[in-house]
């Protein structure tokens, strides 16, 4: 890939019964969320072991990919959800520079054919100028259920609208390190 995204297919397989239960938990947090109306994700408040386990596994796999790194004092191990459906979605270009170094998204449930779009001209440092890319700079990536994507904080992306009737549940996990994003992602070369 031109952009520094690591994909891990079948990162965390969830059986249908557990998935139905997790979706109920997430929907409860969605209904009770206390976020500004324009925000596109909300925190998972559940103490369920699944979310702790998912995050722990994410930390392990990032250390396998990047080698050792040090957590910053403002590191936060919360899991956030972006939930969307055919007639209820926010497809917004954004990056994660303000809140993380390594950004991860796990796809608990998506439709066959769902995609994420990346701005391949995302700059390593100053993203303030322009988040909405020219159409020639957009890379669309087809997702798989249970996949984890790991990307640098500066990579501008947007969740594309769902392509089917299934609710799309993306679980966002951030890591903030003492190392800079370039120090870490240059290790991928
Ligand atoms: Fe994001």
Is residue 62 assigned to a domain? yes
Q: Which helix (H) or strand (E) holds 163?
A: none
Centroid of ligand 1 to alpha carbon of 117 (angstroms): 10
**Domain tally for the chain?**
1
Distance of alpha carbon 33 from alpha carbon 43, whole angstroms = 8
Q: What is the pLDDT of residue 101?
A: 97
Rounded distance from Cα 15 to ligand 1 centre (Å): 26
pLDDT in tens, 71-98: 999 999 999 999 999 998 889 999 999 9
- Whether 69 is covered by a domain: the verdict is yes
User: What's the pLDDT at 142?
Assistant: 98
Kindly report, residue by residue over 103-116, the tens digit of the pLDDT: 999 999 999 999 99
Residue 117 lies in a domain: yes
Residue 85, domain extent: 6-179
Q: Is residue 21 part of a domain?
A: yes
Specify the pLDDT at position 134: 86
- The CA 17 to ligand 1 mean position distance, Å, reads 28
Say if CB 70 and CB 178 are below 8 A apart.
Answer: yes
pLDDT band at 127 (very low <50, low <70, confident <90, very high): low
CATH code (residue 127): 2.60.120.620
Among positive and negative, which fits the CA dihedral 112, 140, 148, 6?
positive
Residue 188 lies in a domain: no
**Residue 14, token pair as written in the block:** 């969830």
Residue 95 included in any domain = yes
H-only helix segments in the chain: 16-31, 49-66, 181-185
At 129-139, the pLDDT tens digits run: 567 888 888 99
**Residue 187 located in a structural domain:** no
Ligand 1 centre and the CA of 94: distance in Å? 6
Q: How many angstroms is it from 47 CA to the middle of ligand 1?
A: 23
Domain presence at residue 40 = yes
Q: Ligand 1 centre and the CA of 174: distance in Å?
A: 10
How far is the centre of ligand 1, averaged over its atoms, from the C-alpha of 48 (Å)? 23
| pLDDT above 90: residue 178 | yes
How far, in Å, from the CA of 157 to the mean position of ligand 1? 6
Distance 170 CA to ligand 1 centre (A): 9
User: Residues 34-74: pLDDT tens digits?
Assistant: 877 777 899 999 889 999 999 999 999 999 999 999 999 99
Whole-number Å distance, alpha carbon 40 to ligand 1 midpoint, is 9
Please report the pLDDT score of residue 114 as a whole number.
Answer: 98
């Amino acid at each position: 890939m031109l952009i520094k995204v690591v994909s891990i297919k079948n990162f965390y397989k969830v059986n249908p019964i557990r998935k139905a239960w997790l979706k109920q938990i997430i929907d409860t947090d969605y209904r009770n969320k206390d976020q500004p109306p324009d925000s596109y994700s909300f925190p998972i408040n559940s103490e369920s072991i699944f979310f702790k386990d998912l995050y722990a596994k994410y930390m392990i796999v990032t250390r396998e990919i990047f080698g050792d790194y040090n957590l910053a004092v403002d590191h936060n191990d919360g899991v956030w959800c972006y939930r969307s459906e055919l007639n209820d979605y926010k497809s917004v270009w954004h990056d994660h520079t303000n809140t993380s170094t390594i950004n991860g998204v796990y796809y608990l449930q998506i439709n066959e054919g769902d995609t994420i779009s990346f701005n391949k001209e995302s700059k390593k440092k100053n993203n303030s100028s322009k988040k909405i890319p020219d159409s020639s700079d957009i890379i669309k990536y087809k997702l798989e259920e249970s996949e984890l994507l790991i990307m640098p904080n500066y990579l501008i992306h947007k969740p594309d609208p769902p392509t089917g009737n299934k609710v799309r549940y993306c679980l966002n996990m951030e890591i903030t390190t003492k190392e800079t994003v370039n120090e870490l992602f240059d290790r991928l070369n």
